[in-house]
Amino acid sequence: MSKIFLDDPNLGELEKEYLIKAVDSNFISTIGPFVTKFEDKFAEYIGADKAVSTQSGTAAIHMALYQLGVADDDEVIVPAITFIATINPILFVRAKPVIIDVDPLTWNIDPREIKKAISKKTKAIILVHLYGSVCNIEEIIKLARENNLSVIEDATESLGAIYKNRQTGTFGDFGCFSFNGNKLITTGGGGMIISNDQRKIEHIKFLVNQARDASRGYYHPELGFNYRMTNLEAALGLAQLTRIKDFLKKKVRFRKIYQEKLKNLPGIEFQQTSDNTIGSWWLTCIKDCSEHVNINNLMNNLKEKDVLSRRIFMPVCKMPYLKKFTKPCPNAFDIYNRSICLPSSTLNDEKTINRAALIIQEILRNRGKK
């Protein structure tokens, strides 16, 4: 039987071809034609004026905060369920994260909790489109404007997701993306930051290159960062970008298969997305609302059948160094204790996902039985 892949990258002959071109050009580091090509093609795909490549999604978020002037003792509102890379850059700039609860249906940052968390020290909101679901963007942007706050979209998991006919990442002051090995498209590691503010994004392009003024040799007029993407990574990303439509079709189809097979099981809910949106579903996730829920047992039972799964992100409230920044987050903990990510890699085909869904269906039907 075919292996069932959880979130493995989908690489093939096209990626090899592009990488060989990069090697043959002898441009393998941070200078090379693929970097600019990837940035331009990505901006075109997303619908942004300009994109700047970085070494990671973390670096992109760091640069967004730094460019916005977020600094000592400023507060940045963030959701409790996200990868830790959303939170750490806030501390890099010596600001304070304000960690709030999430919506129980979408698992994304809750605008009602944002409203309660805004203070005189609040400088920005980072909204995270978790697992390819889409936040309530309109409500969040409205709150930000009313309170003169900046908005950073952490779209590291939502490449290809749509809100009112626009791509996620294009609504905030900056949109940040990740090309880690398990993302929809990958550069191995790497990220991208986008904006329609030409001045700010050009300054970020300058900053990620050690803030070097090449016209004056090795002259650096301000503090910079070594956050550049390599030509090899960009070559891989450019090849992957040409395949993104097929990848997205698979992600959406896989979610529909899971929904069809699991819809009649009592207590099973799928992570939802906000109104007027089309999720990209980097990972399809389910929540077991039954009284017999035991996520670790469920994952072990699935593993015995060669179906790999993964816990969703542990609420960042649990991290020892972040507890002092946390508001009560009951929804986040309920979701964490009841939810898993299902096999969603585009290396799978529909037949394989159908098989995985039937195995999951059988195990869930038998939960709680002696």
- CA 279 – CA 207 distance, rounded (Å): 33
pLDDT of residue 245 exceeding 60, the answer is yes
C-alpha distances in Å from residue 168, one per residue of 104, 203, 294, 348, 368: 21, 23, 34, 25, 40
Q: Which of 40-44, 87-91, 213-217, 278-282 has the lowest mean pLDDT?
A: 213-217
- CA 46 – CA 51 distance, rounded (Å): 9
pLDDT band at 31 (very low <50, low <70, confident <90, very high): confident
pLDDT of residue 161 exceeding 80, the answer is yes
Q: What is the DSSP string of 193-211?
A: EEES-HHHHHHHHHHTBTT
**pLDDT tens digit string along 109-149?**
999 999 999 999 999 999 999 999 999 999 999 999 999 99
Predicted local distance difference test score (pLDDT) of residue 369 = 63
Helices 231-241 and 13-25 cross at an angle (nearest 10°) of 150
Question: Comparing C-alpha atoms, which of 245, 192, 247, 210 is closest to residue 35?
Answer: 192
Contact, 58 vs 191, CB < 8 A? yes
In the chain, the percentage of residues whose pLDDT exceeds 70 is 99
Domains of the chain: 13-241 (3.40.640.10), 245-365 (3.90.1150.10)
pLDDT band at 1 (very low <50, low <70, confident <90, very high): low
pLDDT band at 2 (very low <50, low <70, confident <90, very high): confident
Number of residues assigned to the chain = 370
Contact, 211 vs 220, CB < 8 A? yes
- CA 154 – CA 138 distance, rounded (Å): 15
Q: What is the mean pLDDT of residues 64-69?
A: 98
**pLDDT tens digit string along 344-367?**
999 999 999 999 999 999 999 988
Give the CA-trace dihedral at 8, 106, 95, 317, to 10 degrees. -80
Mean pLDDT of the residues in the chain: 96
How many other CB atoms are there within 10 angstroms of residue 318's CB atom? 14
Predicted local distance difference test score (pLDDT) of residue 190 = 96
Provide the 8-state DSSP code for 216: G
pLDDT of residue 29 exceeding 80, the answer is no
Predicted local distance difference test score (pLDDT) of residue 368 = 60
Predicted local distance difference test score (pLDDT) of residue 268 = 96
Predicted local distance difference test score (pLDDT) of residue 212 = 94
Bridge-based pairing of strands 122-128 and 150-154 is parallel
- CA 44 – CA 61 distance, rounded (Å): 21
pLDDT of residue 370 exceeding 60, the answer is no
Q: How far is CA 39 from the centre of its chain?
A: 18
**pLDDT tens digit string along 284-327?**
999 999 988 999 999 999 999 999 999 999 999 999 999 999 99
* Tokens at 364, concatenated: 């869930």
Place of tokens 């929809």: 184
What b/e string do you get for 39-74 counting C-beta neighbours within 10 Å, with b at 16 or more?
A: bebbbebbebebbbbbbbbbbbbbbbbbbbebeeeb
Q: What is the mean pLDDT of residues 145-174?
A: 98
Contact, 208 vs 74, CB < 8 A? no
